[in-house]
Amino acid sequence: MENDKKEYKLSGMTCAACAMTIEMVVKELSTVEDATVNLATEKLTVLPKEGFASEQVLEAVKEAGYQAAEKGEQKQSDYAKQVAEKKEKVRQMASQIWFAAGATVPLLYISMGSMIGLPFPSFLDHMMHPIAFVSAQLFLTLPAIWVGWGFYVRGFRNLAKWHPNMDSLIAVGTSAAFLYSLYSVVQVLFGHHTFVHQLYFESVGVIITLVLLGKYLEDNAKGRTSQAIQSLMSLVPNQATVIRYGEVVTIDTEDIKVGDIVRIKPGERMPVDGVVISGQTYVDESMMTGESVPVEKNVGDVITSATMNQTGSIDYKATKVSSDTTLAQIVHLVEEAQGSKAPIAAMADKISLYFVPLVLGLAVLAALLWYVLAGESLQFSLSIFIAVLVIACPCALGLATPTAIMVGTGKGAENGVLIKSGEALEAAHLVDVIVLDKTGTITEGKPSLTDVLTFSTISREALLSLVASSEQHSEHPLAIAVLQAAQAEDLSLAPVTDFQAISGKGIIAQVEAQEVLIGNESLMRQYQIELGEHISDLIFLSHQGKTAMFVALDRQLVGLVAVADQIKKNSREAIAKLQKMGLEVVMLTGDREETAQAIAREAGVDQVIAGVFPDGKADVVRTLQTQGKKVAMVGDGINDAPALVQAEVGIAIGSGTDVAIDSADIVLMHSDLLDVVTAIRLSQATIKNIKENLFWAFAYNTLGIPVAMGLLHVFGGPLLNPMLAGLAMSFSSVSVVTNALRLRRFKIKS
């Protein structure tokens, strides 16, 4: 069974109906579980089943009248190539528009110039030279038809397949106008000169030119929505210096392989991830961590791609290259998010599916009503028919959601907030409870040893050495604090023959044939170790916001060690801002109640749930959800993974681990709680923008279609000219994309 998503680049789409058509035909394949098309990114995402083959998808898309190409592994040069291709496409569109306009402007002048009193050459006068008058218009219409030929090919092909789209509306409308005008030309040639007043060539030329102009402006604006990815990719140098077979050579970054030795000089960016093997330097990691102070790098330290070398020269071994680098993973996340759909888009998608056939029906109905019941001329009815078809294009509807998501997620990525999907973006604005893990989220996650209490004849140094020896195989933050303290005091460590970590309680270790137990009150009681009056020591330290651990040697209590974890500098400010936004903030921790309350008071948190084991955090989130709450869980992405998945929105803080990236809906690269505020506010701004776009898109079609059908004319008002309908249709799409681009001005800090 194949579970990995497959992505395809699409071409030939022009509106939401196109996207829905492709979705439908691909979903009908027996080897496809699900399929999603994003109009803004022109991307098809397929969830395959057993027996899947890409050829099936490519053929289905082709049969539907569009083109698809499988997306392979994206390299840096691929992005640059795509940007260049988009620019070239926009440039070609501009050339086509100028060509079409070069013929359409004289066409408008000939057809309407005399009506508004403009000077007019006598040889084109419709009374004196009717054949020249109609022939000139026919000739000047042909360039627009040639430039817009794609509308006719795609439009009629999709109409024949019973999948009409925007192109179908334009193709049918302008073809009707052109054929009727051509009929009038023939009549004039046969001497029926009254037909000079029944030409629609100018409508054909103007509609095609304006639609092309609208698409040009739309594509130009859409190009700016993907600037986030472009700016991220630009952080990686195109070339790098590596040492191969003892030779120093300069190669393309894409050609670096795992194990290559990369040489970096001051002022250069790191091309790939790796580990320092020689030299010392300071590296600016602010684009990853948000920390402005450069980090010292020595032999054995980890290097992250796209970070900036500051002072010294280093050689480092490449460990992650190409699509495996940290930056590449970030770019992939952003792409995934930009290509995803928010649930709010479902309504627009369903409407788009039936919209075009409905419009075709309304256009025919309106024309017949005016011709048959109202007794208007064929010319009048045809004008109504064309205007309805042209104004009703659902482009704006299809672009309303994806463009806003592209800009919103891109804005987040630029500021270290990686929103993984449209679903997460939408869910975040509905959150009313923020659950914060304590260690590493509210606090630094780097506790230091504060107290060593002895309860028997054992000395302080011996107790600390015993604890450090037992903890030397543990990666727990508390263990690291003890080990750092022992190292600072230059204490020797004994070998450990057996080690067992008990989740949420502590550890059991064998040190020099002695059983050592280190942990909380629960662990001691589990092994029936008498605590006596020393419980008061635990409570006293807990009230000071310290985490205390009992130490037992061969089932006898011998001491107590305590560590403290300082809250992050921005935690209090972030929590205050979340509360000001009307959100309920809850701190969740495995610490004792006293310790948790001490930290909570310092951080400004009102609600505390303490003594929770890692596997119980998801239950806490579930309990809040049963109360009707929409929960966002913020944690470090490791022991908090089940809770991150359970919550409506899982937020992993820190540039952390693969688990964080896998489990969370949003990843905060800067390890700053203020970015939680940013994520929520960005979600609110994006959803507001989407709702604005959908409102105007719906309003445009709701108001535009009745006007085009002649509703105002019934009450003595004006009739909508097909050319004005084309102008309105084009600029409705542009307005939606332009409104989405306003999100780029979203202020991160406020």
Distances (CA, A) of 61 to 22, 66, 165, 397, 569: 6, 6, 15, 22, 53
| pLDDT at residue 633 greater than cutoff 90 | yes
Of 92, 65, 259, nearest to 164 by C-alpha is 65
| pLDDT at residue 748 greater than cutoff 80 | no
Better-predicted residue by pLDDT, 717 or 689: 689
pLDDT digits (tens, 9 = 90+) for 545-588: 788 899 999 999 999 999 887 788 889 999 999 999 999 999 98
| pLDDT at residue 464 greater than cutoff 70 | yes
Specify the pLDDT at position 612: 83
| pLDDT at residue 169 greater than cutoff 50 | yes
Specify the pLDDT at position 1: 39
Specify the pLDDT at position 726: 66
Residue type, 110: I
The reply to whether 437 belongs to the active site is yes
pLDDT band of residue 292 (cuts 50, 70, 90) is low
Catalytic residue among 167, 260, 437, 565: 437
| pLDDT at residue 475 greater than cutoff 80 | no
pLDDT digits (tens, 9 = 90+) for 61-116: 988 888 888 876 566 666 667 777 778 888 898 999 999 999 989 988 888 766 66
pLDDT band of residue 312 (cuts 50, 70, 90) is confident
pLDDT digits (tens, 9 = 90+) for 321-365: 887 888 887 777 777 766 666 677 666 666 766 777 888 899 899
**What's the rounded mean pLDDT across residues 281-309?**
80
DSSP state of 743: G
pLDDT band of residue 2 (cuts 50, 70, 90) is very low
Q: Are 93 and 219 in contact (CB under 8 A)?
A: yes
Tell me the Cα Rg of the chain: 34
pLDDT band of residue 262 (cuts 50, 70, 90) is very high
| pLDDT at residue 500 greater than cutoff 90 | no
pLDDT band of residue 260 (cuts 50, 70, 90) is very high
Residue carrying the six token digits 């992993």: 652
Of 644, 531, 534, 549, nearest to 590 by C-alpha is 549
| pLDDT at residue 677 greater than cutoff 60 | yes
**What's the rounded mean pLDDT across residues 489-500?**
89
Specify the pLDDT at position 116: 61
Q: Are 558 and 550 in contact (CB under 8 A)?
A: no
pLDDT band of residue 202 (cuts 50, 70, 90) is confident
Specify the pLDDT at position 250: 92
**What's the rounded mean pLDDT across residues 292-313?**
85
Distances (CA, A) of 228 to 182, 219, 415, 602, 715: 50, 16, 10, 37, 51
Specify the pLDDT at position 76: 60
Distances (CA, A) of 199 to 176, 184, 318, 372, 723: 11, 7, 70, 21, 13
With vertex at residue 714, the alpha carbon angle to CA 708 and CA 720, rounded to the nearest 5 degrees, is 25
Rounded Cα distance between 677 and 682, Å, is: 8
Number of H helices, E strands in the chain: 26, 26
